[in-house]
Structure 1
Amino acid sequence: MDVGVAVPQMAEGYGPGTTVDWARGIDAGPFSSVSAGERVTFSNPEMVATLAACAAVTERVRVFANLWVLPQHAMPMVAQQIGTLDHLARGRLDVAVGVGARDDDYRAVGRDFSNRHSRLDSNIAELRQLLAGHPPFDGAEPVGPLPLQPGGPRILAGAMGPKAMRRAARWADGISGFDIAGDREAISRVNALAERCWEEAGRDAPPVKISGCFVAVGIGDAAETLRSFTARYLGFLGPELAGAIAKTAITATPDALRGVLDGAEQAGCDEFIVVPATTDLRCLDAVADVVAARG
């Protein structure tokens, strides 16, 4: 199983040099990918610009957009951004897409929060056409640049429930899930559901299966850092629910991280994404030690 690392864009203290420092460190470590996600009404830097910086300063790891909230955007612009990122990464781009869970982000960009699941299906159909070089309308030129990867990068679905998984099985190359506790049984259930839905959809190849969790290791007061980060990230759910969920985030020691990674591999993951709860580079060093020791 591969292990990727997200830049800590949702953590407090993310500064002007954080993206480049972490991306270079990830590229130099025993990791498979560097990733960033999308939120609008939060403190994080914007995903596409962040990934562009990651692509420019890395040579080896995949560059992973995890996760692109497609119904918030116009597909020709997304196609151009994907093509540009794939060029900057020299064909190393992967993309996960989903519908998001935050009404405020949709409101902030003037998009409707309702019917977003069905819109995602049509978004994907349009996006794949654009990435294959079809113009956005009759008489127009194609949206450029076309990705270096023919037809575009692989597209994974941020689907975890049965209904979303069945829809994803029609168009995705795999899934990008997440479990705050990094629980093997929970991850295994999602992966088994994906395999079943892909089989029922008559897909020739099994789904790529990726998961991840929040992590804080190698720093002082790691457990509290992890808890407070998780509660802050989930603040849109309200303080009571966010605090309750934050108590399930327990990957705050090297031993706990080893257990999570072993469990994810047993659950059938092809890759696991470590999402740091801190910008402290000692966390990246500690994660690298754990991953290197796994062989």
Structure 2
Amino acid sequence: MNVGIGLPIADPAALLTWARCADAGPFSTLGLLDRLVYDNPEPLVALAVLAGATTRIRLQTEVLLAPLRDAALLAKQSATLDRMTGGRLVLGLGIGGRGDDHQVSGVDMRTRGRRLDAQMAVMRRLWSGEPYGDGVGPIGPAPARPGGPEVLFGGFKPAAIARVGRWGDGFLAAAPPSWAGGLFDTARASWKRYGREGKPRLVAQVNVALGPDRVVDDARTAMAAYYAFTGMADRMVAGMLTTPAGIRTAIAGFADLGADEVMLYCYGRDPGQVERLTDVV
């Protein structure tokens, strides 16, 4: 079972410390959230900086809101980062649920799913070295990984998870073990429906905070602010794991469901959590 760390977004300058500590430890991946109308770092820019401060750990968008971006430019940006990191990029993609994010980017929320499907068709073509079309040639550079960086799709509805089999390499489940099992089964069914060989990569996410009360309180405050738009922030914060035993139990639960990796997502800013989580895993 691989274990990664989801990075806090409240203090971008501190992320270099987080990344270096995680790269020196047992962790497999660094994850970073995406929002537009929020005080968070842009994930592709931030991960590019963190790539230069690390040597082995993977860099994952969790999830990048693809419909807010131009497909050709996103294909070029992600291929560049994948190439320059030796294939360490994992492109987690989703459609997003905030109206303000879509408003400022000029994207109609009602068509964001169809837009993502169209974007994937373009990006897969460009990553394979094919021309853009309509007399326009290829857009490089070629990614390190043939066919493009690994793509995971996040979501909860069947239409979202269906993209795993059609366009993706795996599924990202931001859900507890009690709920993730059904989502994993849906992702596996999508994979079979599209005649894919092997099996999809399954990645779980769980929110954690380890440390003294100030660290846990900081994490809860940050998470509540981030999810305030859902109207369910209190319930989501209540699910945050704050003990080593709770985190180990969750990891074991995801392993039993067949997850390939668990992302321990941190909202608290204290980088000392990396060392504490190292002791847990």
- Shorter-normalised TM-score: what interval? over 0.9
- 1:177 aligned to 173, 179, 183, which one? 173
> What is the percent sequence identity of the aligned residues?
33
Q: Provide TM-score, normalisation by structure 2.
A: 0.94
Q: 1:242 aligns with which of 230, 233, 256?
A: 233
Once the 2 structures are TM-superposed, how far is the Cα of residue 15 of structure 1 from its aligned partner? 4.4
1:90 and 2:86 matched: yes
Q: Which residue in 1 is equivalent to 2:256?
A: 266
Tell me the equivalent position of 1:21: 17
Shift of 1:264: 1.1
Partner of 2:202: 209
For residues 108-160 of structure 1, what are the alpha-carbon distances to aligned partners after superposition, in whole Å with 9 as ceiling and x for unaligned?
Answer: 22222111112211111111111112232344342222212122112111133
The Cα shift of 1:30 comes to: 0.4
What is the DSSP-based 3-state SS (H/G/I as helix, E as strand, rest coil) of the residue aligned with 1:115?
Answer: helix
User: Which whole-Å CA distance do the structure 1 matches of 2:129 and 2:63 have between them?
Assistant: 23
Q: String of CA shifts for 1:27-70, please: whole Å, max 9, x gaps.
A: 00101111212111111111111110111111111111221211
Establish whether residue 115 from structure 1 lines up as the match of residue 105 from structure 2.
Answer: no
Equivalent pair of 1:218/1:285 in contact (CA under 8 Å): no
Task: For 1:154-233, list aligned pairs within 5 A.
Answer: 154-179=150-175, 183-233=176-226
> Relative to structure 1, is the Cα distance of residues 230 and 198 closer, same or farther in structure 2, using a 3 angstrom cutoff?
same
TM-score, normalization by structure 1: 0.89
Q: Which residue of 2 aligns with 1:34?
A: 30
Task: Please state how far the C-alpha of 1:261 moved relative to its aligned partner.
Answer: 0.9
Alpha-carbon RMSD across the aligned residues, in angstroms, is: 1.7
The match for 2:42 is 46
Task: Measure, in 1, the Cα distance between the counterparts of 2:254 and 2:218.
Answer: 23
Alignment correspondent of 1:106: 102
Deviation >4 Å, runs of 4+: none
Per the TM alignment, residue 286 of structure 1 is displaced from its structure 2 partner at its CA by: 0.8
Query: What is the CA distance between 1:224 and its match in structure 2?
Result: 3.3
Structure 2: stretches of 5+ with no match in the other structure: none
What's the offset of the Cα at 1:101? 1.0
1:60-82 C-alpha deviation (Å, 9 max, x unpaired): 11111221211111111101111
In structure 2, what is the equivalent of residue 2 of structure 1? 2
Letter in 2 for 1:283: Q
Q: How far apart are the structure 2 equivalents of 1:208 and 1:15? A: 29
Q: CA deviation at 1:223?
A: 4.5
* Structure 2: distance between partners of 1:88 and 1:37: 21
Residues paired across the two proteins, number: 281
